[in-house]
Amino acid sequence: MSPLDLLPTPVLVTGSMGRILSVNRSLLAQISGTESDWLGCSMDTFFPASCRILLQTHIWPLLLHEGRIQDVYLLIHDASKNAIPVLVNCQRQLLNGSEAYYWVFAVMLDRTRFEQALIRQ
C-alpha cells in the first residue's frame, strides 16, 4: 500500500510528459480499475477534450515553468464517462531522483450542485 492511498482525496503522480506513475485508491474509486491498469498511460485519458486542450496549452506550460499550479477548475471522467468537476492543484517534486508531478483533485460535486440550486432560485 502506498502512503498516497491513506489520503481521502484523489491523487495522481505523473512524470514530466504526463505519463502516470501512481494513482491512489481515492482516484481509482472515481475512475475505476486498478493502479496497474493506469500505470504508463497518459493522464489525458481522465479528461474530456476541452479540458485536455486547456491542460496541454496552458496548464502544462505553466507547471513546467513555475513548478506548481493552484485551484484550476477542470472536469475528469468517471468510469461511465460522466463528468466530475474538480479543483486541481499540482506541484513538481523529486521521486527517486526524477521529476514527478503530484496532482491533487478536490471533487466539487456537492459544491456544483449547491451553486446550481442557488442560481435556479
- pTM reported for the whole predicted model: 0.85
CATH topology of domain 3-120: Beta-Lactamase (3.30.450)
Burial 26-58 (b: 16+ CB within 10 A, else e): bbbebbeeebeebeeeebeebbeeebbebbeee
Q: Domain residue spans in the chain? A: 3-120
| pLDDT tens per residue, range 18-77 | 999 999 999 998 888 888 999 999 999 889 999 999 999 999 999 999 999 999 999 998
